[in-house]
Chains A and B, each alone.
Chain A
C-alpha cells in the first residue's frame, strides 16, 4: 500500500480548505449572543466573511482584522462580551410603546398590570439536582420560539418581558448511576406583558394545527398535540416525531420513528417551556418529560405566586 498517496490526499484536502469561509471572531461572538432569542437572521453582510488562508505549519485565518475580508462587517456591539455562562442572564425587552419618560401623562392610569421582573431567578427554572446528572448549563441568551413550519407565527414575542433558559442533560430516576443520559432538555421561563402568555399557549396549539408536518433540523417532522398536561392555568404537550436516525445522523429507513416533546405550562403571566431533544439520536421519554414539566410548573408557580 502507498501511504504517500494518503499523505498527498490529506495535503490536497488541507489546500482545499482554503475555499472555506468562517466568521471573524468578534462577529461569531456577536452572533452567538443574539441568535437564540431572536431566531437570528444571519445576513449576507455577516455570513460569509473570512477566507481561510495560508496552508502548512502556520495555519492562520487571513484578514481577521480586516485584511482579506470579502464582505465588510458591521461593527460589533460595544458590549461584545456576553454574561458568563455560570449565571442565568436575563434579557429584558423594552416595551415597544413605552412613553418617553419626559412626557408622563398628567393623570397616569393606575392599572393593575403587574410589573415585569428585572430577571428570572434560578429557582424559577429546573435545577442541577433535577437533571440527575448534575449537568445544567444556563444559556447566555434565552431560546426563541420552537421550530414548526413557515405558517407558524408567534406575535406574542412582542409581549415578551423577560426570559431565561437553561439546558440540562437528564437521566431518568430508574437509570443506574453512570449510565448514559436519557435526554437533553431546554427549559425556558418567560414573563409576558398583557395577554402575551395566554397568546403564546394559543399560538403553540395553533402551530401544531398549521404545521402537521414541518422540519426538525434537516429531517421531516410530524407534529401532534397530545393535549393538556393538567398543569398550571393551562398547558399543552406537543410531540415531534421523525424518521429514526443512526449514530451518524442519517435516516435508518427502517420505518422506526424518534419522538421528542415540547411541554408548555402557563402560570398567570408566565410560561415555562420544556423542549426535549433526546440524547444523541435517541427518543425522549414522554413520562420523563411530563414529570419534568410538573416540576418546572411548580417552580414557576412558587416564584410567581
Chain B
C-alpha cells in the first residue's frame, strides 16, 4: 500500500514550485500544467521509489525537465485525456513581464534554460545544478553566465521601449 497522505503532503508542498519550473521551461502555463500533472502522476505510480529517493523533489524536477523537452511524446496519456475533456485553461491573461521572460527563455538552448531556471527559481548552487543535470560544474557556470547575459540583454528596458513605441505609432 502506498502512502497516499505522504504523497498528498508532498504534492501540496512542492507542486507550485514545480509549476513555476515547468512554466519557465515550456514557456506556456497550460503546457506547464500538463507537464507537472504528468510528472506527479508518474511519481504516484512509483511513489515508494520516489519517496525513498534522497531528493524526491529533484526526481520531480528531472521528470518535469524531461517532459518539457519531449512533451509531445511523453504526455500521450495525460494530454490525450485532457484534450478530450477540454484543457483547463489558466485563469486570466499572462502578465506582460512573464510573457517577455518566457519568450526570452525560449531563445535559450534547453540545457541553458534549465540551468537558469534551477538557479533563479530554486536558488540551487552551481554544484547542485551540475549534480542534478549530470553536467560538469564548469559547463553549468558557463551556461549560467551566458543565459543571464542573454536574458538581461533581451529584457533590458532599452530594448523593450522602442517595441512599445512602434506598436503605438
Query: Could you tell me which A residues sit within 8 Å of B by CB distance?
Result: 1-3, 5-10, 12-17, 19-23, 25-26, 28-29, 31-32, 35-36, 39-44, 47-48, 51-53, 59-61, 64, 80-82, 84-86, 137, 139-140, 147, 216-219, 245, 247-249, 277-278, 280-281
Contacts and interface: CB of A to CB of B under 8 A. Distances in A.
Contacts, number: 200
A25 B77 contact: no
Nearest to A7: B120
Given A15-B95, A137-B46, A43 B152 contact: no
Contacts of B95: 12, 15-16
A22 B44 CA distance: 15
A59 to B, nearest CB: 4
Interface in B32-46: 32-33, 36-37, 40-41, 44-46
Contacts of B102: 13
Contact of B151 (A9, A36, A53): A9
Contacts of A64: 8, 12
Contacts of A9: 97-98, 100-101, 104, 151, 155
B23 A28 contact: no
B165 to A, nearest CB: 19
Contacts of B44: 28-29, 32, 82
Contact of A19 (B82, B85, B92, B148): B92
A177 B149 CA distance: 40
Contacts of A52: 15-16, 19
Contacts of A17: 16, 19-20, 23, 29, 32
Contact of B23 (A6, A13, A245): A13
Interface string B49-72: 100000000000000000001111
A43 B88 CA distance: 10
B136 interface: no
A23 B12 CA distance: 10
Contacts of B77: 35-36, 40
A29 B7 contact: yes
A42 B82 contact: yes
A53 B76 contact: no
11 contacts: A9-B155, A19-B90, A20-B23, A28-B11, A28-B41, A39-B84, A40-B81, A44-B86, A47-B87, A85-B45, A281-B73
B45 to A, nearest CB: 5
A20 B48 contact: no
A245 B98 CA distance: 27
Interface of B: 1-2, 4, 7-9, 11-13, 15-17, 19-20, 23-24, 29, 32-33, 36-37, 40-41, 44-49, 69-73, 75-82, 84-92, 94-95, 97-98, 100-102, 104, 110, 120-121, 148-149, 151-153, 155-157
Given A16-B23, A52-B15, 6 more contacts: A2-B156, A12-B101, A20-B33, A21-B88, A21-B91, A42-B81
B69 A247 contact: yes
A51 B47 CA distance: 24
A139 to B, nearest CB: 8
Query: Which 7 A/B pairs are nearest by Cβ-Cβ distance?
Result: A48-B88, A12-B97, A25-B8, A16-B98, A42-B85, A1-B152, A9-B101
Contacts of A80: 4
Contact of B46 (A31, A85, A147, A247): A85
Given A19-B92, A217-B73, A280-B70, A6 B16 contact: no
Contacts of A10: 24, 101, 120-121
A28 B72 CA distance: 20
Contacts of B2: 81-82, 84
A44 B88 CA distance: 8
A6 B41 CA distance: 32
Given A26-B8, A84-B1, A1 B148 contact: yes
Nearest to B33: A20
Given A42-B85, A218-B72, A32 B41 contact: yes
A13 B5 CA distance: 30
Contacts of A217: 72-73, 75-76, 79-80
Nearest to B40: A28
B91 to A, nearest CB: 5
A82 B41 CA distance: 12
